[in-house]
Every structure is written in structure tokens, then in C-alpha cells.
Structure 1
Amino acid sequence: MIYFDHNATTPVKPEVIAETVRVMRDGGNPSSVHGVGRAARAVLEQSRNTIAEMLNCRPQKIIFTAGGTEANNMALNTGGIDHIILSCTEHDSILQAGLNSGRNSGKRLDILPVSENGLVAPDELKECLERTRGNVLVSIMLANNETGVLQDIRQLARISHQAGAIFHTDAIQALGKIPVDFRDLGVDMMSLSAHKVNGPQGAGVLVALEKIKIQSPASGGRQENGRRCGTENLAGIAGFAMAVSLLPQNLKSMDNIRIMRDRIEGEISHHAPEARFYGAGAPRLANTTTILMPDVASETQVMAFDLAGICVSSGSACSSGKVKPSHVVTAMGGTMDQALSTIRVSLGWNNTEQQVDEFIAAWKKLYNRKRQ
């Protein structure tokens, strides 16, 4: 099977599996004071240090979570916030958390538009901030999960801070594909997920300045300095740290991955000039392309590729598995029909030129069949 869906989840590296199993076998609760507990605590803090070093932040800023969705929800539920500003192409975990905060807590919510290339205009954010009152939280993702479009987070965070707002970025798709430096980005909070970087599912991180009023999603103990209650998923966290330590290998592979992604787009453009690649005019992750095959439903494409032994995804899928139109494509000016005719191809470090050849051949075969 050819796996071209690395933005959905990534294969766990053997070194990560070995470390996860080792920690799981050793056991121990990091909150226990006996020897086994102290050993578990040492694993927890070493993992925290490893991740903090890679992100260029102090270990005290690292809050371990159950994954990226929880980290995003914790960020949007920061205490003392009156007004939330998001972009319209955020991940559903951000958009839904923002909507829920408005409904349940009475917070005001503004959603910023994007250009046809998927970019937030700095002036749009500045004008929105000028209209706000009270304590404001801005959340804009670093890299889009569907198109790979990269926002200028440094500039957007600077504009937000000039207006006195707190700034959060969802960096879940960016980590491992571009260098991610918490201090250099100049943000107050940042979300990450292990399974997007060849780590285990069920482990994530919210990086947050100590001054931010993080509210634990559950009541209970004082784990994570009281910012996230519940016994830590030690094996998952150790696996995450191991995956993070291997990220330099992933970053070295990005130039080759970009060449393969660009060849896919070039071959398809030559064969089908009406095909479109959303976000191609903006800075993007090297591994991601969202492809429009006009008049061919996303679901049909995904199934056809699956039968050909190739894993790709539609723009978005709900929990029932039914394909729904990509809100990212429509936000970038695509029609509903276009949003229902796109697929996402996301490559990884273990993909090959031969696999790219097979994908291109399968794409052309499906396109030609639908044109007959």
C-alpha cells in the first residue's frame, strides 16, 4: 500500500515504538514518591526537556495533553478572555471550540477571511483588533492541514501584541516539516501533536507562557503544575520526545519531498490544464498538495485510489466517514462543487519516486476514464 496521507497521521518510527514499549514495560506513576514513581518522573521531565530544547522554550512552558485537539481546546478556553479572533481556515478543533466558547461563555467571536491563496491579511487582523473590547485571544494556525499554506505568524503575533491581545498558533501540521521555534515565532501559546511527527497517537503538547491562565479541561490532581489534571500518558509522552529527537532527519528530507510534490503538480497540470492546486501561490509545506479534479467527486477519487493501493484523503471527513465539502477550499473562493471534488495528497520521509509515478498514473487513468 502506498501511503500519501501523512497529514492525517504518520507511521510510527521503529525507535519511537521501542521507546514507548520500554517505558510502558517499566511502568510507574510520575506522581508517586517511591523509587518506581521517581524513575517515571525522571522520564517525564527528560521528555519535557527534549521537546522544550527542540522548540527553543523553557521546559516549564510545556504542558502535556491527550493530543492536538485537547491542546487547541485548552488554548481557546484560556481564562479571562472576552473576545476570540480566528481565521476561517482553522482546523475544526479550533473553529468548534471558538463557537462553543461564544455559545457557552458569552465570548464574542470574529472569524477573519483569507485570500484566494489562503492567507490572512495583516490589515484585516489589525482592523478587527481595533474594534474589539476587553481581553482578546487571537488563534491562527501556522500551517494549514489541508493545503499546507503557511501564515506569517511572526507578523500576525506582533500585530496582536501591539493591540494587547494574546496570540495562539496551531503548529500541529508544521512541526517536523519546517523548523518551529516558539521564541522566534513570538507567540504566547502553541499546540502540537505526536502522531503528526511519527510519534504515538494520544499525546500532545500545549506550549504556554506561565502568565497565561490555562484552565485544565478536567478537575482532579495537580499534574502539569495544576494546568492539566490527570495522570500523564508517560509512554506516549516518551514516544513523542523520541519522535521529536528524530525530527532533524525529517527536515533533511523536505527538499526531496518538495521535488516529488512539485512533480505531481507539474505532471497533472500538463495532462489536465483545468486541474487546480489550492494554495500553490502561497508559501506552503513541502509535502502537501490539495488537488481539484473537476466534476469527479472526492469520495470517488479516494475510493479509486484506494482500489489502486494508494491512500489519499478528501479535504475533510466527518466522524461517520461521509465526505463533506472542504471549508478551506470554499474559504479560498472555491465553489461547493469544487470543494466536493478535491483530494489532499501529503507525502512523508519514506515515500519514493516510484510511488509518485504510480500515483500520477492512477490519477491520469481516473481522469481519462471520467472524460470518456
Structure 2
Amino acid sequence: MPARVYLDYNATAPLRAEARAAMIAAMDVVGNPSSVHAEGRAAKSLIEKARAQVAAALGADGADVVFTSGATEAAALALAGRGLACAGVEHDAVASWCDVSLPCDRDGRVEVRDAAASALQLANSETGVLQELPEGLAVTDATQAFGKIPFAFNWCGAEMALVSAHKLGGPKGIGALVLKQGLDVAAQIRGGGQEMGRRSGTENVIGIAGFGAAAQAAQADLESGRWGEVEKLRNILENALAESASEIIFVGKGARRLPNTCCFIVPGWKGETQVMQMELAGYAISAGSACSSGKVKASRALRAMGFDEREAASAVRVSLGPQTTEAEVLGFAEAWSKAHARHKARAA
């Protein structure tokens, strides 16, 4: 049986070797980070090392990095009770806390009216569309962009940012809220006062260590130009798909996008059907945000961009990573083109 090909990096990236090694080493550190003895201090030092690694990769020196269980918890910590505005293209983790009232165009670019009262994603998980962050923005969701494009929190204009480890090759279940120094948030989890009083509970030392190592490795990939190579593969993929399907719509192609993300629509060919057919062919892709798994419905983000119900229900996302090869991309394009031909024959 041929090896499977993973093309769903925006859902979660494979665990990096550096993160795995850091986590295995952390498993042997027995102390509670809040304890003052040598064992406790050893655990605490791992946390602070990872905090520095994440801050450096984010360009957030001097900012506060608060570790959470993921970007969803970070969003709750940043957004609860604030009544900020956002657009319909935002992830549910953000939109569920906001007044979804900001407009966006067909390419997914959002019009921000009051930066201090708004939340705005840096990159969309489904389309890869990048936003220009206005100065004084209250919160940005940097989850998908972190590690894929150059980004410096200290210069981005936002007061707070949300990030997650597993999108850049770290472990699942760990993320962070980044705050400009001097800002504060009301704790949602209270107790022992860990994480500078913002997030109580004994820290996930193993996950935090993996996050730090993954962030450092992801930054090295970015600086080496690896994501420029990924963008070339994405363009090869889109050219190959366009050759076999003249009716294909590449979502957000008129805007700046993440280098790895290809979201496309063949109107009338349901996204989940395409995902299942590619699954049988040995390729893992997605029909939307992984957090919507199990929900067979049109993409809310695409509907907000002006696509109709039929078009939005026909979208799929292919997201590449540093390990993706040209052979894998061309193999996928060939398998998809054969499935498309069968779809056209049935529809005739």
C-alpha cells in the first residue's frame, strides 16, 4: 500500500523532532514549578527557557507570554467581556466572543473601523488570506501565521496576540496569550496564581518545553527561506489544478496569502465528497477548519466573503508544510484531476 501524504498542515503540523526531544527530556524533571526546592526550580527553569524561546520567535521581547491550553483559551482570556467587533472570517474561538459586524471583501480582506475595539486575525486558517493589522488593534489571532511568515509582535500594532504550538510543529494542548508590557487581563481560571496571576493551575511543563523548542525550530525554518520553497510548491499545485478544471475558483488569490495554503472551489462538487475521495487515494486534506470536524455545512468564512451556499459548501483546503515534496504535490494534483474527471462525467 502506498505511503499516505499529509496535506493538512493548517489543521495541525507534524510534531517536530526538536519538540519531541525537549518533551522527552522534560518528562524526567520531577519538580512542581511552584516549589522552591532544586527540583521545583529545575521545572521552573524549563518554563522560563520556553517562554524566552516563544518570545524570541514572536519578536515579543519585553512582552508578557502567558501559557494557556491553546489559542482557544488564550482567546477567552483576551476577549471575555470586552465586546470587541470582528468579521465573519474569524475563527469561532474569536467570533464567539465578539460582535461579528466588520465587513470583508470577496478576497477576505477585512475593513476595520475602530482598531481599539476590534479583533482581527493575521491569517485565515481556511483561505490563508493575510490582513494588514492597524496600529492600536486590540487583539490579533496569529495562530496560523506564527512560524510561516515574518512577524514581530512588538511592531505589529496589536495590544495582544493569540498563538498555538501545534500549528508550527509543537504539541497539542498548549498555546499562549501575548500581551504588551503593562497590559492586564482578568483571569478566567483562578487558584494558585500561576502565569503572573493570569492563568492558575500547575503548568504543563512538558507541553511548554515542546512549544519553546518548536517555536525556535520554526523560526530557523523561516529564516532559512524554507517557506519560500513551500510557496513555490503551492503555486505548482494551483497551476496543475487549473489545467484540469477550468471552472475552479482559487479563494483569496487576489490577496496576500500564507505561502502554504490553497483553498479552492469547484461549484456543485461538495467539499466533503472531495475530502473522502482524496482520503481513499491516500491524501489528507480538509474541507474547512479542523475545529468544525463532524459538521457538514458550508464554510462560515466563505459565506462572509460573499460566496453563496453552494460555492461555500464546495470548498476544500490543501495546506503544505516544510516536509512536503514536489512529487507529493504533483501526485495529489493527478489524483484530484482523475476524481474531478469522474465528477464531470457523472454530472454530464
TM-score, normalising length: structure 1: 0.88
2:252 equivalent in structure 1? 279
1:196 equivalent in structure 2? 167
Q: Distance in 2 between matches of 1:235 and 1:193?
A: 15
| Cα deviation, residue 318, structure 1 | 6.0
Q: Distance in 2 between matches of 1:273 and 1:249?
A: 38
Q: Report 1:177-326 matches (<5 A).
A: 177-251=148-222, 252-316=225-289, 321-326=294-299
Q: SS state of the match for residue 28, structure 2?
A: helix
Q: Distance in 1 between matches of 2:15 and 2:125?
A: 19
1:13 equivalent in structure 2? 16
Q: SS state of the match for residue 246, structure 1?
A: helix
Q: Distance in 1 between matches of 2:166 and 2:248?
A: 31
1:55 equivalent in structure 2? 58
Corresponding residue to 1:34 among 37, 44, 47: 37
| Cα deviation, residue 110, structure 1 | 4.9
Could you give the per-residue CA deviations for residues 111-140 of structure 1, whole angstroms, max 9, x where no partner exists? 20100010013xxx33xx39xxxxx53110
- Judge conservation of contact 2:62–2:181 (CA < 8 Å) in 1: no
Q: Distance in 2 between matches of 1:249 and 1:27?
A: 30
Counting matched residue pairs gives 340
1:120 equivalent in structure 2? 110
- Judge conservation of contact 1:325–1:336 (CA < 8 Å) in 2: yes
| Cα deviation, residue 323, structure 1 | 2.1
| Cα deviation, residue 316, structure 1 | 3.6
- Judge conservation of contact 2:287–2:316 (CA < 8 Å) in 1: yes
| Cα deviation, residue 87, structure 1 | 1.6
Could you give the per-residue CA deviations for residues 307-347 of structure 1, whole angstroms, max 9, x where no partner exists? 00000000246666132210111111111011111100000
Q: Distance in 2 between matches of 1:137 and 1:96?
A: 15
- Name structure 2 gaps, 5 residues minimum: none
- Judge conservation of contact 1:312–1:345 (CA < 8 Å) in 2: yes
Q: SS state of the match for residue 250, structure 1?
A: helix
Q: Distance in 2 between matches of 1:335 and 1:317?
A: 21
Q: SS state of the match for residue 97, structure 1?
A: coil
Q: Distance in 2 between matches of 1:284 and 1:237?
A: 29
Q: Distance in 1 between matches of 2:28 and 2:59?
A: 31
| Cα deviation, residue 187, structure 1 | 1.1
Could you give the per-residue CA deviations for residues 211-266 of structure 1, whole angstroms, max 9, x where no partner exists? 33312221201101101111111110110000011113432211111111111111
| Cα deviation, residue 59, structure 1 | 5.0
Q: SS state of the match for residue 261, structure 1?
A: helix
- Judge conservation of contact 1:68–1:172 (CA < 8 Å) in 2: yes
TM-score, normalising length: structure 2: 0.94
- Name structure 1 gaps, 5 residues minimum: 99-108, 131-135
- Judge conservation of contact 1:315–1:326 (CA < 8 Å) in 2: yes
Cα distance change on mapping 1:308 and 1:110 into 2, 3 Å: closer
Q: Distance in 2 between matches of 1:138 and 1:212?
A: 16
Runs (4 or more) in structure 1 with deviation over 6 Å come to none
Matched, 1:86 2:78: no
Cα distance change on mapping 1:54 and 1:318 into 2, 3 Å: closer
Q: Distance in 2 between matches of 1:294 and 1:336?
A: 10
Q: Distance in 2 between matches of 1:223 and 1:231?
A: 7
Corresponding residue to 2:126 among 146, 149, 159: 146
Q: SS state of the match for residue 270, structure 1?
A: helix
Q: Distance in 2 between matches of 1:110 and 1:293?
A: 28
- Judge conservation of contact 1:4–1:346 (CA < 8 Å) in 2: yes
Q: SS state of the match for residue 247, structure 2?
A: coil
Cα distance change on mapping 1:182 and 1:231 into 2, 3 Å: same
Q: SS state of the match for residue 40, structure 2?
A: helix
- Judge conservation of contact 1:316–1:324 (CA < 8 Å) in 2: no
